């Protein structure tokens, strides 16, 4: 029996459109969505788009303990999704990136309070 040759995996490439995301963009977006896939981190991000809060306030508002909140904030800060500034002995967290603010506004505008998809706005914009 002949030994099978090891083959390199095939990489199919297509010319793509100029506005098509690059592989690094896709990887970065997937990482961002991965971080936001946690309901607790998503809640923290939403809170931080509404104002600037310390870890104790965020933990209380999100209903989780301070140690867990600190872990979430560290991950979000390292990913560049949330920023922190020192105010005396406290770190104050907020979302400054307008792209992230828009992303969060859009997702919650798309999901109704009961968790179902919100209906699309009427075609043609608002009626006067």
List of long-range contacts for 42-45, beta carbons under 8 Å, 24+ apart: 42/104, 44/69, 44/72, 44/73, 44/76, 44/82, 44/93, 45/76, 45/81, 45/82, 45/95, 45/100, 45/104
Q: Domain 36-110 belongs to what topology? A: Arc Repressor Mutant, subunit A (1.10.10)
Which H or E run contains 53? strand 53-54
CA dihedral (83, 86, 92, 98) in degrees, to 10, reads -30
Per residue in 1-37, pLDDT tens? 555 555 555 544 555 688 999 999 999 999 999 999 9
Per residue in 56-103, pLDDT tens? 999 999 999 999 999 999 999 999 999 999 999 999 999 999 999 999
- Sign of the Cα pseudo-torsion (65, 68, 71, 75, in order): negative
- Sign of the Cα pseudo-torsion (102, 21, 26, 118, in order): positive
Question: Whole-prediction pTM value?
Answer: 0.76
């Amino acid at each position: 029996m002949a030994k099978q040759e090891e083959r390199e995996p095939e990489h199919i490439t297509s010319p793509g459109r100029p506005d098509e995301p690059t592989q690094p963009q896709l990887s970065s977006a997937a990482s961002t969505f991965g971080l936001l896939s946690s309901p607790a981190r998503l809640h923290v991000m939403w809170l931080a788009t509404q104002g600037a809060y310390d870890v104790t306030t965020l933990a209380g508002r999100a209903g989780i303990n301070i140690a867990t909140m600190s872990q979430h904030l560290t991950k979000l800060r390292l990913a560049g999704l949330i920023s922190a500034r020192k105010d005396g002995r406290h770190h104050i967290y907020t979302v400054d990136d307008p792209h992230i603010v828009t992303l969060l506004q859009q997702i919650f505008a798309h999901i109704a309070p009961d968790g179902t998809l919100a209906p699309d706005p009427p075609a043609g914009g608002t009626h006067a």
